[in-house]
Amino acid sequence: MGLRTFKGGVHPFEGKELSKDRPVEEYLPGKDLVFPVSQHIGAPAKPVVAVGDAVKKGQLIAEAGGFVSANIYSSVSGTVKAIAPHRVATGDMVNSIVIENDGSYEEVAYEESEVGSLSKEAIIEKVKKAGVVGMGGAGFPTHVKLSPKEPDKIDYIIANCAECEPYLTSDYRRMMDNPELLVGGMKIVLQLFDNAKGVLGVENNKPDCIAKLEEICRDEPRIEVVALQTKYPQGGERQLIKAVTGREINSKMLPADAGCIVDNVETLVCIYRAVKEGKPVMHRIFTVTGDAVKEPRNFYVSVGTNYAELLEAAGGLKEGGAEKMISGGPMMGFSMFDLNVPITKTNSSLLCLSKDDVSHLEPSACINCGRCVEACPELLVPSRLAKQADLKLGEEFEKWNGMECIECGSCSFICPARRPLAQSIKTMKKDILAARRKK
Amino acid sequence: MDNMLHVSSSPHVRAKDSTNRIMAYVILALLPTSLFGIFNFGLKALLLIVLTIASCVATEWVFEKIIHKESTISDLSAVVTGLLLALNLPVTLPWWEAVLGGVFAIAIVKMMFGGLGQNFMNPALGARCFLLIAFAADMTNFVTDTYTGATPLAAMRNGEVINNMDALIGRTAGTIGETSAIAILIGAVILILLGVITLAIPASYLITFVVFMLIFGGHGFDMNYIVAQLCSGGIMLGAFFMATDYVTSPITPKGRIVFGICCGILTGLFRCFGANAEGVSFAIILSNIFVPMIEKMTIPRAFGQVKEKKEGK
């Protein structure tokens, strides 16, 4: 049998060699740390500290602003310096709590638990309290994910260990360095769902991870390691579910509708920390990489750390500098114009490229070659959708299933006419969603 | 960090294949049959190839100059059109008619409709049909020093049995690039290996054609006759190089199969019941016209989409 996967997809240059074998180093942040109150999907968190307050590491500084929202904790001790809008990696301005680091890292006490004796409600409560969100980038509050309507119908817990975005190696390092935390997190989630089986889905370009995880899961009857074909976007939620279970979901469905719950590697680690150690989300692994970086590295960073500081910690830029800096991977990441932004729970890397492949490209006429159709993991016709989007033909766009687009960028990547298909489609989707909200 | 950073929407990387690289692949894939054509029909064939390519490229350049558009000749699509047109001409054709065909292909069939990607009809085939109507005698004159008999298709029409080996290798009368099934198949393999085309259109085209001929060909299950039909005339060149023209074939996966079936039925129809022994060109350009309709009927089911629309409307 061939490796499990989905239909469509592309094979961009992987670039993971740059940083994958660099050990994770803890980076102690500099003076000011910035905590945006929106680091997740849903309502912004509400600050519970005021300017001038002294805070400890591990102290709640903003509480969830609703059910679909998440708590935010300080990752250092110090003083609240300001609460004001600050730029984040996507380029937006977000209200943020700025904490001046006193360098002592004085920490609150955490409440450890015997996981096996906890009730399901208590586990979910602990995950919620710790402010765990989807750390792979989406930032969906994890306690919401763990509270489906019909928990008995969940039969798959899938750990998204695909890491299909080129260049990123933070999940890879986690799997190599702390597989027990990942599997520990998985076991906690399995404790919530009696009928579920745990699956660790790993792309087969990481055979060392597969071997390691298989080894530590040998005595775990409920957990299985599944090798997936290396193909972008294998780590897309819908694509991963398809590869692992053969089930398909569309934009109107949740993974739970297919009996699945999908969590990223770092998220499961955070769940473990939250439930077992009682620790909130304050750290994550963050990769600084790209051909323009002097010494690409993986860091264990505090949430709130400044991007520019980390670039310096990685030796800064090579001579010749960088034309493009991206928060995240090259397929779905955001290009940045300013590095004075904080790392949030969902940011996994800073990618600095000496050459920008894209901005100078002149799109030419669509030749109808169909490569975008073959590449689209959602089985759409991107060239047609982009044309409808450019002409603002909303009705046609929806008829051709444009709203199903997951914005993976495979169509733009593959287009020989260099047309920015994904960009057009994304814009149209936003317009349609905005119009729907107005109604 | 004194330099300005570039900002653009994701993705921030691109695949290697560009439009002109793909066109270069097609030209490469057409080389075997072009070279065989020159070998088979002599230097006059080379002259026609050079002239039609030059005429196509020049027409595109002049047209874009006149309408003040940036020149697109570097995308090589005009070269492909010129080459394909030449391969569809008999070597006896007066040179100026070939040049006129190139002008028609680019100016009328392609540029008038908006240039690359906008034309609804394959420019080379459009021009061939134009020449076929305008200069019927010249376009059907396949008598050369080497070949004094009829084309294999015409011979078969008269009830003769042709030598399949000759048809396969291409030692027969016909247009410059259509005679050698082997040379065309080598090109087809190149196209498929380089990822330029998939088998969807050629396979559905040829299979449909074979089925049609088995039923209506009048020779029953005579495999010799079927192979002769497949190796003669323009069907191989048409199935792999003309019907697969991106611009004028459907983009939807199912649509491509429907399109191939369309071409197959029409080719069979024209060859069995038409006034001429050959019908590939007309079959393909007629199918080209159906493309928008085929695409509308074959909007693919999106990933995870459940059937629901049917009841709603």
Interface mutation vs chain B, best among A364, A373, A393, most B CBs within 10 Å:
A364
Residue B197 in any domain: the answer is yes
Name the residue among A12, A368, A409 with its Cβ closest to that of B251.
A368
Q: Are residues A213 and A195 in the same domain?
A: yes
Tokens for A91, please give them. 């380029």
Nearest CA in chain B to A361: B14
Name the residue among A13, A381, A416 with its Cβ closest to that of B252.
A381
Give me the phi and psi of A276, to 5 degrees please: -75, -50
Please answer yes or no on whether B6 and A356 come within 8 Å at the CB atom.
yes
Residue A12 in any domain: the answer is no
Q: Dihedral sign for Cα A369, A374, A376, A379, please.
A: positive
Residue A288 in any domain: the answer is no
Is A188 a residue whose pLDDT tops 80?
Answer: yes
Degrees, nearest 5: CA angle A240-A246-A248: 75
Contacts of A236 (CB under 8 A, 6+ apart): A164, A377, A406, A408
What's the pLDDT score for residue A25? 92
Give me the phi and psi of A107, to 5 degrees please: -115, 150
Residues of B in contact with A333 (CB under 8 A): 10, 12
Domain of residue A198, residue span: 115-277
| Closest approach of A72 to chain B, Cα-based (Å) | 28
Residue B306 in any domain: the answer is no
Q: What is the mean pLDDT of residues A283-312?
A: 94
Residue B27 in any domain: the answer is yes
Q: Are residues A208 and A330 in the same domain?
A: no
Q: What is the mean pLDDT of residues B78-104?
A: 96
CATH number of the domain that residue A171 is part of: 3.40.50.11540
Q: Are residues A121 and A245 in the same domain?
A: yes
Q: CB of B299 within 8 Å of any CB in chain A?
A: yes
Classify A95 as helix, strand or coil.
strand
Interface mutation vs chain B, best among A368, A384, A399, A419, most B CBs within 10 Å:
A368
Residue B182 in any domain: the answer is yes
Contact A171, A163 (CB under 8 A): yes
Interface mutation vs chain A, best among B2, B8, B13, B118, most A CBs within 10 Å:
B13
Q: What is the mean pLDDT of residues B77-86?
A: 97
What's the pLDDT score for residue B312? 39
Tens of pLDDT, residue by residue over A356-392, are 988 888 899 999 999 999 999 999 999 999 999 999 9
pLDDT over 70, % of chain B: 97
Is A183 a residue whose pLDDT tops 90?
Answer: yes
Please answer yes or no on whether A379 and B300 come within 8 Å at the CB atom.
yes
Nearest CA in chain A to B2: A321
Calculated CA dihedral for residues A316, A319, A324, A326, nearest 10 degrees: -20
CA A334 – CA A326 distance, rounded (Å): 5
What's the pLDDT score for residue A11? 94
- Per-residue DSSP letters for A125-188? HHHHHTT-B-TTTT--BHHHHT--S-GGG--EEEEEE---STT--HHHHHHHH-HHHHHHHHHH
Name the residue among B4, B14, B116 with its Cβ closest to that of A365.
B116
Is B313 a residue whose pLDDT tops 70?
Answer: no
What's the pLDDT score for residue B150? 81
| Closest approach of B104 to chain A, Cα-based (Å) | 20
Per-residue pLDDT band at B52 (split at 50, 70, 90): very high
Give me the phi and psi of A372, to 5 degrees please: -65, -35
Rama region for B100: left / alpha / beta (φ>0; ψ in -120 to 50; rest): alpha
Rounded to a whole number of angstroms, the CA Rg of chain B reads 21
Is A1 a residue whose pLDDT tops 50?
Answer: no
Q: Are residues A431 and A318 in the same domain?
A: no
Contact A252, A436 (CB under 8 A): no
Give me the phi and psi of A35, to 5 degrees please: -120, 95
Q: Dihedral sign for Cα A77, A83, A84, A90, please.
A: positive
Residue B308 in any domain: the answer is no
Please answer yes or no on whether A249 and B304 come within 8 Å at the CB atom.
yes
Q: In chain B, how many domains are there?
A: 1
CA A339 – CA A317 distance, rounded (Å): 13
Give me the phi and psi of B25, to 5 degrees please: -60, -40
Residue A295 in any domain: the answer is no
What's the pLDDT score for residue B307? 62
Residue A360 in any domain: the answer is no
Tens of pLDDT, residue by residue over B160-199, are 888 888 888 999 999 999 999 999 999 999 999 999 999 9
Degrees, nearest 5: CA angle B290-B190-B139: 55
What does pTM read for this prediction? 0.91
Per-residue pLDDT band at B3 (split at 50, 70, 90): low
**Could you say which of A277, A309, A341 is where a domain stops?**
A277
Please answer yes or no on whether B17 and A412 come within 8 Å at the CB atom.
no
Residues of B in contact with A365 (CB under 8 A): 72, 115-118
Q: Does A233 sit behind a cis peptide bond, omega within 30 degrees of 0 on the bond before it?
A: yes
Q: Are residues A174 and A94 in the same domain?
A: no
Please answer yes or no on whether A10 and B77 come within 8 Å at the CB atom.
no
Contacts of A147 (CB under 8 A, 6+ apart): A124
What's the pLDDT score for residue B143? 86
Q: CB of B289 within 8 Å of any CB in chain A?
A: no
pLDDT over 70, % of chain A: 100
Q: What is the 3-state secondary structure (H, E, C) of chain B?
A: CCCCCCCCCCCCCCCCCCHHHHHHHHHHHHHHHHHHHHHHHCHHHHHHHHHHHHHHHHHHHHHHHHCCCCCCHHHCHHHHHHHHHHHCCECCCCHHHHHHHHHHHHHHHHHHHCCCCCCCCCHHHHHHHHHHHHCHHHHCCCCCCCCCCCCHHHHHHCCCCCCHHHHHHCCCCCECCCCCHHHHHHHHHHHHHCCCCCCHHHHHHHHHHHHHHHHHCCCCCCHHHHHHHHHCCCHHHHHHHHCCCCCCCCCCHHHHHHHHHHHHHHHHHHHHHCCCCCCHHHHHHHHHHHHHHHHHHCCCCCCCCCCCHHHHC
Domain of residue B236, residue span: 20-295
Q: CB of A307 within 8 Å of any CB in chain B?
A: no
Contact A262, A174 (CB under 8 A): no
| Closest approach of B28 to chain A, Cα-based (Å) | 18
Residue B6 in any domain: the answer is no
Q: Are residues A105 and A119 in the same domain?
A: no
Residues of B in contact with A416 (CB under 8 A): 15, 17-19, 21-22
Name the residue among B12, B75, B302 with its Cβ closest to that of A326.
B12
Q: Are residues A159 and A219 in the same domain?
A: yes
Nearest CA in chain B to A410: B11
Tokens 């094979």 — which residue?
A11
Q: In chain A, how many domains are there?
A: 3
Q: What is the mean pLDDT of residues B97-101?
A: 97
- More confident: A290 or B149: A290
Q: What is the mean pLDDT of residues A34-58?
A: 94
Residue A394 in any domain: the answer is yes
Supply the ipTM of this predicted assembly.
0.89
| Closest approach of B203 to chain A, Cα-based (Å) | 17
Per-residue pLDDT band at A290 (split at 50, 70, 90): very high
Report strand pairing: A156-161 vs A260-264. parallel
Interface mutation vs chain B, best among A242, A367, A426, most B CBs within 10 Å:
A367
What's the pLDDT score for residue B310? 45
Please answer yes or no on whether B11 and A250 come within 8 Å at the CB atom.
no
Name the residue among A330, A364, A404 with its Cβ closest to that of B11.
A330
Give me the phi and psi of A312, to 5 degrees please: -60, -40
Q: What is the mean pLDDT of residues A5-23?
A: 92
A77: closest CA among A103, A47, A39, A49? A103
Residues of A in contact with B302 (CB under 8 A): 250, 378-380, 401, 404
Nearest CA in chain A to B14: A413
Instruction: Tell me A354's DSSP state.
Output: S
Arithmetic mean of pLDDT over chain B: 92
Tokens 């039923």 — which residue?
B215
Q: CB of A393 within 8 Å of any CB in chain B?
A: no
CA A15 – CA A349 distance, rounded (Å): 13
Is A243 a residue whose pLDDT tops 90?
Answer: yes
CA A284 – CA A307 distance, rounded (Å): 14
Contact A168, A16 (CB under 8 A): yes
What's the pLDDT score for residue B308? 54
Contacts with A, B 88-117, CB within 8 Å: 115-117
Q: CB of A413 within 8 Å of any CB in chain B?
A: yes
Classify A421 as helix, strand or coil.
helix
Q: Is A195 exposed, middle or buried (0-12, 13-18, 19+ CB in 10 A)?
A: exposed
Nearest CA in chain A to B75: A364
Residue B50 in any domain: the answer is yes
Is A332 a residue whose pLDDT tops 50?
Answer: yes
Residue B311 in any domain: the answer is no
pLDDT over 90, % of chain B: 77
What's the pLDDT score for residue A438? 84
Please answer yes or no on whether A380 and B251 come within 8 Å at the CB atom.
no
pLDDT over 90, % of chain A: 88
CA B106 – CA B102 distance, rounded (Å): 6
Contacts with A, B 218-277, CB within 8 Å: 246-247, 249, 251-253, 256
In the β-sheet with A156-161, what is the strand arrangement from edge to edge?
A: A223-228, A197-203, A156-161, A260-264
A273: closest CA among A283, A264, A287? A283
Residues of B in contact with A395 (CB under 8 A): none
Q: Are residues A93 and A124 in the same domain?
A: no
Contact A296, A314 (CB under 8 A): yes
CA A260 – CA B273 distance, rounded (Å): 59
Residues of A in contact with B15 (CB under 8 A): 10, 12, 413-416
Q: CB of B67 within 8 Å of any CB in chain A?
A: no
Classify A202 as helix, strand or coil.
strand
Nearest CA in chain B to A251: B304
Q: Are residues A342 and A379 in the same domain?
A: no
Q: Are residues A128 and A73 in the same domain?
A: no
Q: CB of B22 within 8 Å of any CB in chain A?
A: yes
The letter for the amino acid at A423 is Q
CA B200 – CA A177 distance, rounded (Å): 47
Q: Are residues A150 and A273 in the same domain?
A: yes
- Secondary element (H or E) of residue A330: none
Q: Are residues A143 and A269 in the same domain?
A: yes
In the β-sheet with A54-55, what is the strand arrangement from edge to edge?
A: A32-36, A93-101, A78-87, A54-55
Tens of pLDDT, residue by residue over B256-278, are 999 999 999 999 999 999 888 78
Tokens for B1, please give them. 């960090």
- Secondary element (H or E) of residue A245: helix A237-245
A357: closest CA among A409, A434, A286, A431? A409
